[in-house]
Amino acid sequence: MNKKDYEDFIDNVLMPQLTRETAKKLQESQLDLRQCKWAEGESNIDTDFSKLAGEKAKESFQKMIKLNPIFNQKINIEISNPDIKINFKLSEYQTSIKRKIELKSGYTVKENDVIILGSTIGKLDINIWLIFVLRKNNNEDFEVRYGRYYKGIKVTENELFQDRTPRPKISFNEYQTVEELPDTQLMEKDEAWINKYAESAVYRIINESKSSKNYSWQDDLVIEILRIVLKNDDILRKVLLSLNIDKNTLIERIKHL
């Protein structure tokens, strides 16, 4: 058996099974989850949650690997935090394969969903496996879901620019329940995320007024940028050049509006 066989087994079989089984064990561990420290002052902390999830992942691995006898006794794991960082140790090759299960949690008072800021999109692996814990009733009740990261991403028409690479929000309800079998479909990373934020900016200046709860100073910024470009012929020429759009073509398009 070559190393590629191990990698295929880990990525296509073991990681989906391991993530789901770990999520199930967390769902069944309500008392342990209640004992986790979730916040300190204004800050959210997930240290206890990460440790607990890591323990459940170890238990899940022992169960999952026995269901796959070809690989039993040939793969062991080491787990570290934060999140669930897994070091799959291959005894046959005396080497290891590193993978990770992302951990997220969010609190809600009245709803059965929570939407939180996700990870920075620039270097994000949208196919990474994720476990999401919804905390309710003053951290007394917990619901757990799981799935590939991309399932929960939400970029709405009211998104604002951010002071660094954007962190698209993720929604708890978009992930799979622990009763569902893992959806292993891979998704290509959408490199057009800048376009999505641009479309949002255009939507906002057309549809939002200063009295709207969604109004932001960024809306005025976008309008001012457009005004500067359209008023200054030299700037307009340079912008059109960078966009590879001929000025006469632009004029023709405007005539047909």
Average pLDDT of the chain is: 85
Provide mean pLDDT across the span 208-235. Answer: 79
Residue whose C-alpha is closest to residue 81's, from 108, 58, 107, 110: 58
Give the integer Cα–Cα distance in Å for 73 and 96. 14
> Are residues 28 and 116 located together in one domain of the fold?
yes
Q: Which of 135, 162, 189 is the last residue of a domain?
A: 189
**Tens digit of each residue's pLDDT (9 = 90 or more) over 33-72:** 999 999 776 566 789 999 999 999 999 999 999 988 899 8
Within this chain, do residues 105 and 86 fall inside the same structural domain, yes or no?
A: yes
Model confidence at 133: pLDDT above 90: yes
The Cα–Cα gap between 167 and 152 comes to 12
* Burial state string for 139-177 with b = 16 or more CB within 10 A and e = fewer than 16: beebbbbbbbbbbbbebeeebeeeeeebebbbbbebbbe
> What pLDDT band is residue 141 in, cutting at 50, 70 and 90?
very high
93 and 168 together in one domain: yes
**Position 12 pLDDT exceeds 60:** yes
- Residue 88 in contact with residue 97, Cβ under 8 Å? yes
Residue 7 sits in which domain range?
3-189
Q: Which of 46-60, 111-125, 181-195 has the highest mean pLDDT?
A: 46-60
Confidence of residue 254 (pLDDT cuts 50, 70, 90): low
Q: Which one of 14-23, 146-155, 182-191, 210-219 scores highest in mean pLDDT?
A: 14-23
Q: Are 147 and 24 found together in one domain?
A: yes
- The number of domains in the chain is 2
* 102 against 93, higher pLDDT: 102
d(CA 141, CA 144): 10
Using the predicted structure, report yes or no on whether residue 10 has a pLDDT greater than 80: yes
**CA–CA dist 90, 97 (Å, integer):** 8
| β-pair type (95-107, 141-148) | unpaired
56 with 144, same domain?
A: yes
Q: CB of 20 within 8 A of CB of 146? A: yes
Domain end (from 189, 219, 243): 189
Between 112 and 148, where is the model more confident?
A: 148
Q: pLDDT higher for 189 or 99?
A: 99
| 3-class SS of residue 86 | strand
**What pLDDT, in 10s, does the model give residues 159-186?**
665 556 677 889 999 999 999 999 999 9
Opening angle at CA 139, ends 25 and 20, nearest 5:
20
**Do 63 and 181 lie in a common domain?**
yes
202 and 153 in a common domain: no
Instruction: Give mean pLDDT, residues 229-242.
Output: 82
The reply to whether 126 and 166 lie within a common domain is yes
Average pLDDT over residues 188-211: 72
d(CA 127, CA 149): 6
Bin 15: left if φ > 0, else alpha if -120 < ψ < 50, else beta: alpha
